[in-house]
């Protein structure tokens, strides 16, 4: 057997994100609500992984913890080989700046900035020159199909276009991890399809780990992996090509009506 090929496969098989027996609870008045309960998960690079489940099941909390935005009560989080649960706030901030991109339901765009300016803004914090930022921002807009909309402001863009600008802003940082929280829930079917296809293409073409949280059943057929979450734990784990995945998508879609 070719040892170099074996080594390459072993390297590719390394998870980029790991949670090991993590728990998280919140206090509401005199009641403690357990949101995550000794949950373990491994997420792989070059894939779009979807965490789905009912509202309140803990999926957004899990995304925040895996991205270093929230701490755990117990357990470990390892991202790109770095133990986030042992990192200082400053180290976490540097990690997020260097290695992560975020896409949110509400787009988080500045009304006074053009599409290109939205993307250039965070690149300055990475130490890029104005010229480098401009070139990288425009390249990211072209990749999401919006090069011709570079000089338009959010009020002149559709909801789907705003979300693709947000994706381009994350992509331009060239992160190894992209976290998307309900990226299609504010969009119509066609715009949502374009957004999830864009995220999937980024995962494949750039080797990026894309972790998406959503209760939108339309996303299920387009994910490489679907993790069904309930009561603070992962209940089921499907991969694309699984005969049961279409059944799950159909079942969840019907459950929305």
179 — pLDDT class (breaks 50, 70, 90): very high
252: left (phi over 0), alpha (psi -120 to 50) or beta: alpha
Residue 145 lies in a domain: no
Residue 67 lies in a domain: yes
* CB hemisphere CA count around 33 (13 angstroms): 11
d(CA 158, CA 91): 37
Range of the domain at 206: 14-106+165-255
Residue 154 lies in a domain: no
182-219 pLDDT tens trace = 999 888 888 988 999 999 999 999 999 999 998 888 78
Count of domains forming the chain: 1
Residue 124 lies in a domain: no
Number of H helices, E strands in the chain: 8, 10
Question: How deeply is 69 buried, as exposed, middle or buried, from its count of CB atoms within 10 A (0-12, 13-18, 19+)?
Answer: middle
d(CA 104, CA 2): 44
Residue 155 lies in a domain: no
pLDDT at residue 250, rounded to an integer? 55
Predicted confidence (pLDDT) at residue 6 exceeds the cutoff of 80: no
Predicted confidence (pLDDT) at residue 9 exceeds the cutoff of 50: no
Predicted confidence (pLDDT) at residue 126 exceeds the cutoff of 60: yes
> Which secondary structure element, helix H or strand E, spans residue 138, and what is its range?
helix 130-143
Q: Which range has the top average pLDDT, 2-11, 99-108, 146-155, 227-236?
A: 146-155
CATH, residue 60:
3.40.50.300
Residue 20 lies in a domain: yes
Instruction: Give the pLDDT mean for 132-159.
Output: 95
Predicted confidence (pLDDT) at residue 4 exceeds the cutoff of 50: no
53-103 pLDDT tens trace = 888 888 999 999 999 999 999 999 999 999 999 899 999 999 999 999 999
Give the Cβ contact number of residue 201 at 10 Å. 14
pTM of the model: 0.88
Give the Cβ contact number of residue 135 at 10 Å. 15
């Amino acid at each position: 057997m070719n040892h170099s090929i074996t080594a390459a496969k072993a390297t590719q098989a390394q998870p980029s994100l790991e949670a090991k027996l993590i728990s998280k609870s919140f206090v509401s008045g005199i009641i403690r609500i357990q949101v995550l309960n000794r949950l373990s998960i491994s997420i792989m690079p070059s894939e779009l992984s979807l965490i789905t489940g009912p509202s309140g099941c803990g999926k957004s909390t899990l995304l925040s913890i895996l991205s270093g935005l929230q701490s755990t009560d117990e357990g470990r989080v390892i991202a790109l080989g770095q133990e986030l649960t042992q990192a200082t706030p400053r180290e976490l901030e540097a990690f997020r700046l260097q290695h992560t991109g975020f896409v949110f339901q509400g787009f988080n765009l500045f009304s006074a900035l053009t599409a290109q300016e939205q993307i250039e803004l965070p690149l300055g914090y990475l130490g890029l020159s104005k010229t480098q930022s401009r070139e990288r921002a425009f390249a990211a807009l072209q990749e999401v199909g919006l090069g011709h909309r570079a000089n338009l402001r959010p009020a002149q863009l559709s909801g789907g276009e705003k979300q693709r600008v947000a994706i381009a802003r994350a992509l331009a940082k060239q992160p190894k991890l992209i976290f998307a929280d309900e990226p299609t829930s504010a969009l119509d079917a066609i715009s949502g399809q374009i957004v999830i296809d864009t995220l999937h293409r980024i995962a494949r073409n750039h080797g990026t780990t894309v972790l998406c949280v959503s209760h939108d059943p339309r996303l299920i057929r387009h994910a490489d992996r679907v993790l069904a979450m309930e009561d603070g734990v992962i209940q089921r784990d499907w991969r694309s090509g699984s005969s049961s995945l279409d059944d799950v998508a159909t079942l969840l879609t019907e459950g929305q009506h």
